[in-house]
Amino acid sequence: MKHREIIIAFLICSIFFFPSCNENESNDPRDPFIGSYNCKVTYENHLEPGHFLYKPDTIYFTTLIVSKHEIASFLEITGGTHVQIEINFHDFTFNGADYPGQRLWGRFLDDSIFMNTFMTPAALISWTYEGKKIN
């Protein structure tokens, strides 16, 4: 009988004193998007060549870094740009959360990111980012 009482006492103590293996695991739905993305950037400028904001169209490469923001539905993107986005967890689309004077939208798909940003009005200057996750 004493053996059984010791086992029961040990099991009760285990419940209170030994943390669960999963207790420190996060259920943050943003986790799959966190990381670095190697992106091809297409810059388009539809202004006249004499305009002070005119630069020729070009394609270049950059690395975007996606990290968590303190607001649970926001992510921060740094690297070739610095923006905060609000993500829709149903279809993994996002919009710019804090991007004054410009517009931003995009989508995460599997291990890739697509993002388009443009200056208003009429999207005369735009950047399109297409990238694959590298870590």
Domain ranges (residues) in the chain: 27-133
> 10-residue block means of pLDDT along the chain (135 residues)?
62 55 66 94 93 93 93 88 90 84 87 90 88 94
Distance of CA 3 to the CA centre of its chain: 54
For 95, the token pair is 């919009």
Structure confidence at residue 109 (pLDDT): 92
Structure confidence at residue 24 (pLDDT): 47
Structure confidence at residue 97 (pLDDT): 83
Annotation: CATH topology of 27-133: Lipocalin (2.40.128)
d(CA 61, CA 43): 11
Structure confidence at residue 131 (pLDDT): 96
Structure confidence at residue 26 (pLDDT): 62
Output the pTM of the full model.
0.75
Structure confidence at residue 23 (pLDDT): 47
Structure confidence at residue 88 (pLDDT): 92
Dihedral sign for Cα 78, 95, 40, 46, please.
negative
Structure confidence at residue 55 (pLDDT): 92
For 49-77, b where at least 16 C-beta lie within 10 A, e where not — what string? eeeeeeeeeeeeeeebebeebeeeebbbb
Dihedral sign for Cα 122, 85, 133, 80, please.
positive
